Amino acid sequence: MTAPNWEIGGRALGSRLLLGTARYPSLAVLQQAIHASGAAIVTVSLRRESASGRAGSQFWRTIKELGVQVLPNTAGCKTVKEAVTTAEMAREVFETPWLKLEVIGDDYTLQPHPFLLVEAAEALCRRGFEVFPYTTEDLVVAERLIQAGCKILMPWGAPIGSGQGLNNPYALRTLRARYPEISLIVDAGIGKPSHAIQAMEMGYDGVLVNTAVARATDPVQMGRAFGLAVAAGRLAYLAGAMLTQEMAEPSTPVTGTPFWHSAPPEPTK
Amino acid sequence: MIIEVNGEKKQLDQQQVLAEAITHWGYECALIAVAHNDEFVPRSRYTAIQLQDGDRLEIVAPMQGG
């Protein structure tokens, strides 16, 4: 694990990659993928448990062995009441006030419900949660979430699990420019390491990925690829990219070029 | 009386508090959290909640998530 270089939610962490834990071929692959990615935060969830099954306890032991920070989510919640109750249950089970707040408003795109999201964020910030709201790139919703007490925002890149990348780079850039002091993490829709680099080069503080790693042919290698991509994108942002221009400009110095302008131009016919 | 646990109806023969019912159903050693009629119940209150006929319980545990 790298030395801590990122302050988020009151913790100092060594990686800006957040990794989801769902949809992996097995718990062993999940564990190896997290390790290979270097992710310091992993998202987890709560589901109905049968008394005989105990699948949850086995999963939780696997995650605890890795010593990473967990970020419980409220996946599947559609009302403020459901989100708040799920959050309270998650805080007790996972022993953390961190919460990825999801309140879904549309079944087809899994778009966050902007109004209910703000309402739930207000309730949870009042209850002492560190809320990581999964939101759209909407500026006004962002403003309302910040007013509610959120210090972190997680705008979507594209619909969850779609792998489309950053569908609205303009809005994401605007959000970054508008809120330089807020921790911004692109959550959802990232399909390839190049998408993660793009977000990090824009100055995003982190990237949350799940399906892109879990459903890769080799999730462990892809985990490593995302870890490197996020680090590379961050370095590039800090280094400051050159400005683009329309025309070519020789990168090799022209002074002293052999035969430079020595031949007369070809006569035109 | 009938208690709905995770959407499934379960029979309880006598009046019980939540802590007894959880043990009765075999959850006693599991890492779980409970909502009673949609309200979160902290562990410290499991012995204080008297179950009534028709009550709904959600019993959840850690699971993979994105």
Ranking A176-190, A221-235, A254-268 by mean pLDDT, the lowest is: A254-268
A206-209 and A17-20 beta bridge pairing: parallel
* Positions of A marked catalytic: 100
Average model confidence (pLDDT) across chain A: 94
| A222 to A67, A248, A249: CA distances (angstroms) | 21, 35, 36
SS3 category, A131 = strand
Question: What is the percentage of chain A residues whose pLDDT exceeds 70?
Answer: 97
pLDDT at A120 over 70: yes
Which pTM does this prediction carry?
A: 0.90
Question: What is the percentage of chain A residues whose pLDDT exceeds 90?
Answer: 85
pLDDT digits (tens, 9 = 90+) for A61-78: 999 999 999 999 999 999
CB contact B23 to A (< 8 Å): no
pLDDT at A40 over 60: yes
Cβ separation of A48 and B6 shorter than 8 Å?
A: yes
- Where does residue A238 rank: exposed (0-12), middle (13-18), buried (19+ CB within 10 A)? exposed
Using a CB-CB cut-off of 8 Å, the residues of chain B touching A49 are 6, 27, 30, 32, 59-61
pLDDT at A52 over 90: no
Return the pLDDT at B37.
96
Q: Is the dihedral of CA A147, A150, A151, A154 positive or negative?
A: negative
pLDDT digits (tens, 9 = 90+) for B3-60: 999 999 999 888 899 999 999 888 877 789 999 999 999 999 999 999 999 999 999 9
Using a CB-CB cut-off of 8 Å, the residues of chain A touching B30 are 49, 51, 54, 56-57
pLDDT at A264 over 90: no
Confidence class for position A266, pLDDT limits 50, 70, 90: confident
Cβ separation of B62 and A88 shorter than 8 Å?
A: no
Confidence class for position A2, pLDDT limits 50, 70, 90: low
CB contact B53 to A (< 8 Å): no
**Alpha helices (H) in chain A, listed in sequence order:** 27-37, 55-66, 80-94, 114-126, 139-148, 169-178, 193-201, 211-214, 219-239
pLDDT digits (tens, 9 = 90+) for A223-253: 999 999 999 999 999 999 999 999 998 888 8
Return the pLDDT at A261.
67
Return the pLDDT at A268.
75
Q: CA A137 to CA A197: how far, in whole Å?
A: 18
